[in-house]
Amino acid sequence: MAVADDSQSWPKAHPRAVTAVLSALGYVLVVGAFAGLLPLPTISRDAVIFLGDAIAVVNTLALAAIVAGVAFIKRDQIRKHRAAMLTAFALIMVFLVLYLVKVGGGFEKSINATGPIYYAYLVMLAVHILLSALAVPVVLHAVVLGLTHTPDELRDTSHARVGRIAVGAWGLSLALGIITYVLLNHVYGWEPRHALLLLVATTRPLVPTAE
């Protein structure tokens, strides 16, 4: 029992360390997929398209869960808030798996658009990617605190403050990701590009997208 208690108390006493480790792992996996360093299977064009659609569905469900979680906590419905936020987090884990397979085993999509629409798309995509990266540690920190503390104990932690930041960054990132998905797949169309790290260029490149 003592060993079990110690194993449970360490994450509770060191939530920032747990957050740092999990965040670093997530970043390594994504960079490894883009760089082709992960042993992921090669997938077909149809599989890439299917995974892109599946990712959009998963992200939409995750955003809905976040909105529900915010509504629940405003009504002081803590159990429902916890369930909604953990559902959203689980969906993001599903997204990560699908995304790694899609990027590491297939290719990225580049939008067929020109002029202001193209540059507006670039801005949305850049903000989406930036927020996705920045949201990782705050989301994980909020989740770690929520899983290791009781509701009463959470009142004495930074959970509420970190949670508000996480919801803002996470929710906006998901919303922009869904918009870019619609523009890319159902409005302007796309061309394939093999997965590479996102490069900023002044000329019109085939720009990879996160969806």
Q: Are 132 and 108 in contact (CB under 8 A)?
A: no
Indicate the number of domains in the chain.
Answer: 1
Residue 166 lies in a domain: yes
CB-side exposure of 61: number of CA atoms within 13 Å? Answer: 16
pTM of the model: 0.84
The amino acid sitting at 209 is: T
Residue (of 20, 195, 54, 6) closest to 207 by Cα position: 195
Q: Are 11 and 21 in contact (CB under 8 A)?
A: no
3-state DSSP assignment of residue 145: helix
pLDDT over threshold 70, residue 174: yes
pLDDT over threshold 90, residue 9: no
**In terms of residue numbers, what domain contains 182?**
2-194
Report the alpha-carbon distance of residue 83 to residue 56 in Å, rounded. Answer: 21
Residue 177 CA to its chain's centroid (Å):
9
Residue 134 lies in a domain: yes
At 109 the pLDDT is: 87
Residue 202 lies in a domain: no
Residue 205 lies in a domain: no
pLDDT bracket for residue 192 (50, 70, 90) = confident
Give me the chain's average pLDDT, please. Answer: 87
